[in-house]
Amino acid sequence: MNSPDNLPLQEIILLDVQGMKCAGCVRSVEAILLGQEGVLSASVNLVSRTAYLELKDPDKPLDQIFRALAQRGFPAQLRDQNPLEKLQDSQADSAIELWRQWKRMIFALLLLLLSGLGHLAEGGFVEIGLIGTLPFHAALATFALLGPGRKILQGGLSAALAASPTMDTLVGLGVSSAYIASLVALVWPQVGWPCFFNEPVMLLGFVLLGRFMEERARFRTGRALKQLAELQPDNARLVMGNGRIKEVRVGSLRVGDKVQLLAGDRIPVDGVVEEGSSAVDISSLTGEPLPLEASPGTELSSGSLNLESTLVLRVKLVGAQTALARIIALVERAQARKAPIQGLADRIAGRFCYGVVLLAIGTFFFWWLIGTRLWPHVLHASGQGLLHGHSLHSSLGSGAETPLGLALQLAIAVLVVACPCALGLATPTVITVSSGQAARKGWLFRGGDVIEMAASLKQVAFDKTGTLTLGRPLVSAVMLTKEPGRMFQLASCLEENSRHPLAQAVTQEAQRYKMPSLKPLKSSTVPGSGISGEIEGVDGIVRVGNPEWLRSQKVIMEADIQKVISAAAGKGQSLVGVSCGEKLLGLIAIEDRLRPDSFVALDRLRNQGFKMTILSGDRREAVERLGLELGFKKDQLFWGLLPARKLEELERLKGLGPLAMVGDGINDAPALAAADLGIAVGTGTQIAQETADLVLLGDRLEGLPEALLLARKTMDKVRQNLSWAFGYNLIALPIAAGVLLPGFGLLLSPPIAALLMALSSITVVVNALTLRST
């Protein structure tokens, strides 16, 4: 599928944006960004508080964008540093923010306690002196608005003046209306309604308490990325020029430095092993359960764990270039990119606050001018609502004696019960949790749009070489030899410096026999045929190559050797013969082996209902043999496909339903880009393949069905959250407007409405967090 990630990396940036509270804020920030010159597209994530921008001119200064955001109450800064350092810094920022939230919660509990004691004192249940007096409640309400509620009022006013109302605008209208109405009643008793200073106090208390709980839950949604960042240690053991070991900060390491790794150490940077051998746990990056056997020449990625013995690593990549940092950067970018399903929620949320304000105004005038005349009994029935009235000063609407008092309560309840936050959080919370969980297992989704597409797939097409197979030839059989060790000893002596894949397979297999090394005296290569040469201590010329070439060199072959050659060709094997003088020492069968988990992965995909095909450029015999072994039908196999023909076949298959193409991420780039979803299977060095929408790190194909299953579960959670967010508002708003008051005498008081609003947001976040248990 085509995605913004196909653009050059420098044209896409991430901004950290502060001040966003709800979906209305997201809509406002996106509108501001899209209104700036040079911004081609913008996607804002409420959970991670980031903005994903596609710029026409990446070199143009961003000052104008920052000024435009700051003027509307959304200060922003460029996320341009190492994502590992950024996450570590954000942990410190989160600790500070958490302390602020704790202080707000303490204020909230104090406000609720004092307000509750005031209600008890007014009802005559307790004797608490000053707390039961009207001046105390007026002073407490004033403190609540000017103290902990000041930021809400300021944010709501700024958003309203900018014609972009937010949740703060709704809450601010509610509490200020209740407070002003109470002041009017206190100064001008003739208006005929009681003072209700307790209401803005309790309302703010519930709002602050709800925000604390919501922030705590949202903090947990990003825990997976923070755990990834924690895989990089703070310090490393630098090997000095004189061999002395010095402990230094990881950030001070440079390419070419040598680092000592003790057993139990996390690898701080990407590098190549120079000394030592050890088992290394790479499961934290790739999900691979078995440790990697590291020896000189092995490349290791930062975040891996050295298990057994001491290694010396030469630094190859540092900072933002390491595999771990690039993984985190990709996940952060993925979390900022929206799923298409979020578009409907965003469009509604952008106009939601306007609708709520109009509904509140309509509710006020209806109950003030019409409702109480149609149903006079509601003035008494309202006293049977969720909060009961008291003699000194009342809860809004409880025991209301005038239509104006009842109308005011219901209008405020409508303002406060509305929850644009739930709409704004429904999708990004799930995407954040899902992409973080996937990254921990070595699956990199490039965005919420990719997860949504992955959940809708009906077909999966595979390349053969490097995808269903290991992608490197290995010795599979040894034939017509009585001394396999001697045969491999002679063959590897000539082939040890060759880069030909078949030669590498021979030298790799020779190591299993642990024969002493021999010294070649001279050798010559015949392109496309083989290699011949003389070896110290060996009589006769040694030849290694295809059997037909050996026959042309007067090597004596048995009469029935053609049957062996034909049988090997039918199995898709390549044959290498080894001879000394005119004597054939034996034949070596070499083939690209299946991935060990191919059978399991394909069985799981079939059980999930996917239709599968193989699209390969390899020869017919090899594709049919592999397809038959893996359980494919003949009409699901396509061979001899050049890149252009493979693209044509992909387009045909796409007409049968959403299609994923699985390749190795390098040779299959055009096909990966053309499919609805491009999936690359490879090592950590391939994570930057921009044509792949989903990258499976490591050599585990069985991660594919698990990743697609996670995508389906993710979209199930998104739909649950959206259903709840829409359903809550569709039910709560009419009740708050007094629909049940005439027939059942039930209404929502503003404090209860505020509590329900907070619980609505918390519900969608907690539901998203249940993905962590899958």
Catalytic residues: 463
Specify whether the CB–CB gap between 30 and 424 falls below 8 A: no
Alpha-carbon span 688 to 702, nearest angstrom: 21
Alpha-carbon span 115 to 117, nearest angstrom: 5
Alpha-carbon span 338 to 389, nearest angstrom: 47
Residue whose pair of structure tokens reads 């893996």 in the numeric block: 630
Which of 403, 453, 414 lies closest to 431, judged by CA?
453
Specify whether the CB–CB gap between 56 and 349 falls below 8 A: no
Residue whose pair of structure tokens reads 């399903």 in the numeric block: 341
Cα–Cα separations (whole angstroms), residue 92 to 86, 88, 89, 767:
10, 7, 5, 27
Q: Which two tokens stand for residue 274?
A: 């120079």
Which of 287, 318, 293, 297 lies closest to 307, judged by CA?
293
User: H-helix or E-strand containing 68?
Assistant: helix 63-71
**How many residues in the chain?**
774
Spatial CB neighbours of 6, under 8 Å, sequence gap ≥ 6: 673, 690, 691
Specify whether the CB–CB gap between 741 and 378 falls below 8 A: yes
Alpha-carbon span 477 to 479, nearest angstrom: 7
Alpha-carbon span 228 to 309, nearest angstrom: 24
Task: Kindly compute the dihedral angle of the four CA atoms of residues 618, 621, 626, 628, in this order, to the nearest 10 degrees.
Answer: 140
SS3 track for 615-662: ECCCCHHHHHHHHHHCCCCHHHEECCCCHHHHHHHHHHHHCCCCEEEE
Alpha-carbon span 476 to 592, nearest angstrom: 9
Alpha-carbon span 322 to 612, nearest angstrom: 35
Task: Kindly compute the dihedral angle of the four CA atoms of residues 622, 627, 630, 635, in this order, to the nearest 10 degrees.
Answer: 180
